[in-house]
Amino acid sequence: MKLTLKALSLAVLGAASTFTFAEEAPASEHTITGNIGVFSSYNLRGITNAPEDKNLALQGGLDYSHASGLYAGYWGSTLGYGDPTELNPDNAFESDFYAGYKGAITEDLGYTLGFTYYYYYDLGTSDANGFETMLGLNYKG
């Protein structure tokens, strides 16, 4: 019995010491994240008085970032806005493709340069498709 108890104690101590002295894996330079959600409506940039979709909206995205500051991603959403006689709200879909670079000016001040391409599927027109550029400053203070 003493031998079993002693062996068990050594095993527990040995297992605990491997966790204590284990080296942390180096952080990857690449990060991939994703998101998905179901929302009561799709509102453009927080404007709730003119929703693009008064029905449920399924939305999701996938983002890639590199330690150097480069990033790229995709975001998509179901749509159902406009005149149902002109559009097919059951198949309308927004796809946003974006990329850019985030850098630092000082320890507390940073910047972002980027662009987004908006592509709308099955809206009956390509007038809504287009590019948007972004230039931003951020402060951590």
- Averaged pLDDT for residues 73-77: 94
pLDDT for res 4: 45
pLDDT at 136 over 60: yes
Residues listed for the chain? 141
7-45 residue pLDDT tens: 445 444 455 444 555 567 788 899 999 999 988 877 776
47-63 residue pLDDT tens: 655 556 667 788 999 99
Between 55 and 3, the higher pLDDT residue: 55
Distance CA 73, CA 96 (A): 8
- Averaged pLDDT for residues 80-85: 53
Q: How far is CA 82 from CA 57, 88, 92, 98, in A?
A: 15, 9, 10, 25
Structural domain boundaries in the chain: 29-139
pLDDT for res 24: 73
Q: Model-level pTM greater than 0.75? A: no
Between 116 and 43, the higher pLDDT residue: 116
Q: Which of 100, 118, 119 is nearest to 110 (CA)?
A: 100
pLDDT at 6 over 60: no
Which neighbouring-strand residues pair with 93? 78, 121
Per-residue pLDDT band at 3 (split at 50, 70, 90)? very low
